């Protein structure tokens, strides 16, 4: 048999179908090399009633023949099915048309248990949605969680970012002898800077390795023998763990890996990018080739990493049929960084909108508790007060739709009630201003949905109407049949609060263990406005289309229920677009002849 081509059954490229030909026959070998427990492939075999075997590396695989069919035009094609679901059509010329995939939520559930028992209809999804029911917005997402690992890797090569030695070692990346020699030489110089630092042992080693860099383009392009394996390892570091039960700390660690790319700094010594054609991963190569073409476009040729990030987020949304997004970002509450961010947004966003038709706006994110995972980070005691002071200024910008309280939900939101008094003052001056709170994400703080509404309502000035308010996740409160649950339901309805649901991140972060208990259908039945978000889709191996399919298939939403969500979303899109137009005119008047 000779190797023919391959395709993937999931967005994270964890489920690989390698195709082989022997004369006029075609065979497949399905592998899950990035999942070490064996749960995933065992559950795929069990669900699809297929036999397991082992390959030459003693890894579990699924092997079988793919039948060939001839249509009415005498055209041959090979049809790959799992159970009765047509998954892919393979043409003799090597073209693969994937018709169905295994969504991230099903893959996660299969990875985490040996006793996966969902039916095949909730495991393998046909990738299409009725046009009139297709969601068109991403109303709950995060700036540095949007882009896929492939695009981030391409971005790192294109901008030739500095990649820390610490992550080279942590991911066990393979370098050439020349690359190791240069890195070790640089490390010796860096080490001299920390002789009197007082650090010792692993803490000193970490500090030195964090400040020793290799040009990421050099790491990939001048190391082709190891490029394929290195790309797989780097891609894996940019998503939440798959085999185990992930927690919020795992998410924070993934963000650190992503910051290397999303907040990257360019290397001083650049290399020639002529070896791009040799990159073994087709998706990384295609994205990088487009980035190189963008550098010849006068509109994008001077893009910063941040501006390219916005461009590729918009392109990704366009591909998914999403044309309005509100992205949460903590940069907008930082005094100096916020001004530079908005300057770059104003510079590039009109061109991005002209190309993609996607409107991106932002929610200024404030942490409910200080970030602790970044070593040596010093957070002032009055950080929220400082955040609010900056927000009063950035809230005037047309690209700022509102604010957001983010972070692990380990405290009662009532503790932050003084901050809400300032937020409702901003909302009084700008009725379109959205106050969003991450609430009800886990079952440890069941009062947070009701308390979030209470914090806003009790902070209103006499006669002030309730601002626009959304609650992210909304999974957990007291039983809706209990006294507290009924009161929370009444407050949601009376105050027109919108609930946002992100099913895949809930499962991936171990906040939802049973889909039977998901409250979305109950809320829709009670007339509560509900919408979908992705929570930073790339972190969880999903996207807006897959999220909607997951809601439909996993929770059994009817067309009528999907339409209710579509109606709620359409209203927010319309209000958001009007808000942008109104604020743009007011902002231009405020600036006068000064420019941004």
Q: What is the pLDDT of residues 552-564, one digit of tens each?
A: 999 999 999 999 9
pLDDT at 166 over 90: yes
Angle at alpha carbon of residue 571, lines to 565 and 577, rounded to 5°:
135
The confidence score (pLDDT) of residue 379 equals 64
User: Which of 257, 254, 289, 263 lies closest to 157, judged by CA?
Assistant: 289
- Over the stretch 64-90, which tens digit does the pLDDT of each residue have? 999 999 999 999 999 999 998 999 999
- Over the stretch 299-312, which tens digit does the pLDDT of each residue have? 999 999 999 999 99
CA distance 286 to 398: 33
Q: Which domains does the chain have, with CATH numbers?
A: 2-128 (no CATH), 149-278 (no CATH), 297-589 (3.20.20.140)
| SS3 of residue 3 by DSSP | strand
pLDDT at 181 over 80: yes
| SS3 of residue 485 by DSSP | helix
pTM confidence score: 0.94
Pairing of strands 400-406, 434-439: parallel
Concatenated DSSP letters for 327-366?
EEEGGGGSHHHHHHHHHHHHHHHHHHHHHH--EEEEEEEE
The confidence score (pLDDT) of residue 245 equals 72
**Four-residue CA torsion sign, 152, 158, 162, 168:** positive
Helices vs. strands in the chain: H and E counts, helices first? 20, 21
- Over the stretch 533-545, which tens digit does the pLDDT of each residue have? 999 999 999 999 9
In DSSP terms, which residues pair with 329 in a beta bridge?
364
Pairing of strands 213-215, 25-31: unpaired
pLDDT at 375 over 70: no
pLDDT at 371 over 90: no
Range scoring the smallest mean pLDDT among 103-117, 121-135, 377-391: 377-391
Residue 510 gets the label, from left (phi > 0), alpha (psi -120 to 50) or beta, of left
Helix runs in 90-164, H state only: 104-112, 149-158
Residue tagged 């949601």 (tokens): 492
CA distance 492 to 500: 12
Pairing of strands 468-473, 498-501: parallel
pLDDT at 403 over 60: yes
Structural contact between residues 326 and 372, judged by C-beta atoms closer than 8 angstroms: no
Give the pLDDT mean for 343-347.
Answer: 97
| SS3 of residue 12 by DSSP | coil
- Over the stretch 186-202, which tens digit does the pLDDT of each residue have? 999 999 999 998 999 99
- Look over the chain and give the mean of its residue pLDDT values, rounded to a whole number: 94
CA distance 520 to 579: 28
Reported confidence tier of residue 115, pLDDT bands at 50, 70, 90? confident
The confidence score (pLDDT) of residue 117 equals 86
CA distance 175 to 534: 35
Strand order in the sheet with 68-70: 68-70, 76-82, 85-90, 96-98
């Amino acid at each position: 048999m000779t190797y023919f081509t391959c395709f993937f059954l999931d967005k994270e490229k964890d489920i690989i179908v390698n195709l082989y030909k022997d004369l006029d026959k075609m065979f497949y070998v399905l592998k899950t090399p990035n999942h070490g427990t064996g749960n995933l492939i065992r559950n795929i075999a069990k669900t699809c009633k297929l036999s397991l075997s082992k390959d030459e590396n003693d890894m579990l695989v699924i092997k079988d023949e793919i039948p060939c069919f001839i249509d009415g035009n005498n055209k041959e094609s090979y049809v790959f099915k799992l159970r009765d679901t047509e998954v892919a059509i393979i043409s003799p010329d090597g073209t693969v048309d994937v018709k169905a995939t295994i969504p991230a939520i099903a893959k996660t559930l299969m990875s985490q248990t040996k006793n996966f028992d969902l039916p095949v209809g909730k495991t393998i999804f046909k990738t299409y949605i009725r046009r009139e029911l297709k969601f068109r917005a991403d109303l709950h997402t995060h700036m540095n969680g949007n882009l896929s690992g492939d695009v981030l890797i391409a971005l790192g090569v294109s901008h030739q970012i500095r990649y820390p030695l610490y992550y080279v070692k942590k991911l066990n990346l393979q370098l050439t002898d020349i690359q190791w020699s240069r890195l070790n030489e640089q490390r010796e110089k860096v080490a001299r800077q920390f002789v009197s630092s007082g650090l010792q042992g692993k803490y000193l080693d970490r500090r030195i390795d964090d400040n020793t860099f290799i040009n990421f383009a050099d790491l990939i392009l001048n190391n082709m023998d190891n490029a394929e394996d290195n790309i797989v390892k780097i891609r894996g570091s940019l998503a939440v763990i798959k085999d185990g039960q992930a927690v919020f700390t795992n998410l924070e660690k993934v963000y650190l890996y992503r910051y290397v790319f999303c907040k990257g700094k360019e290397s001083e010594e650049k290399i020639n990018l002529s070896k791009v054609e040799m990159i073994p991963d087709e998706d990384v190569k295609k994205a990088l080739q487009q980035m190189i073409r963008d550098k010849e476009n006068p509109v994008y040729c001077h893009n910063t990493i941040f501006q390219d990030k916005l461009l590729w987020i918009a392109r990704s949304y366009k591909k998914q049929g999403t044309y309005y997004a509100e992205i949460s970002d903590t940069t907008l509450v930082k005094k100096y960084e916020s001004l530079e961010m908005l300057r770059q947004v104003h510079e590039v966003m009109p061109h991005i909108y002209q190309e993609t038709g996607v409107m991106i706006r932002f929610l200024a994110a404030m942490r409910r508790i200080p970030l602790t995972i970044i070593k040596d980070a010093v957070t002032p005691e009055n950080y929220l007060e400082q955040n609010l002071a900056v927000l009063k200024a950035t809230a005037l910008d047309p690209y700022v739709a509102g604010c957001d309280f983010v972070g692990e939900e380990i405290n009662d939101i009532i503790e932050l009630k003084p901050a809400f008094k300032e937020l409702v003052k901003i909302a009084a001056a700008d009725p379109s201003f959205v106050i969003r709170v991450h609430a009800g994400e886990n079952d440890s703080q069941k009062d947070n949905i009701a308390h979030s509404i209470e914090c806003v309502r009790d902070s209103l000035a006499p006669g002030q109407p309730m601002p626009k308010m959304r609650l992210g996740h909304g999974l957990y409160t007291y039983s809706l049949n209990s006294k507290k649950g009924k009161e929370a339901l009444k407050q949601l309805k009376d105050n027109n609060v919108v609930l946002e649901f992100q099913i895949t991140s809930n499962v991936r972060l171990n906040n939802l263990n049973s889909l039977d208990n998901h409250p979305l259908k109950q809320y829709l039945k009670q007339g509560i406005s509900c919408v979908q978000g992705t929570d930073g889709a790339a972190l969880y191996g999903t996207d807006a289309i897959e999220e909607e399919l997951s809601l439909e298939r996993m929770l059994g939403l009817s067309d009528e229920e999907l339409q209710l969500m579509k109606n709620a979303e359409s209203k927010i899109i319309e209000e958001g677009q009007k808000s942008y137009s109104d604020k743009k005119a007011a902002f231009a008047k405020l600036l006068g002849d000064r420019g941004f």
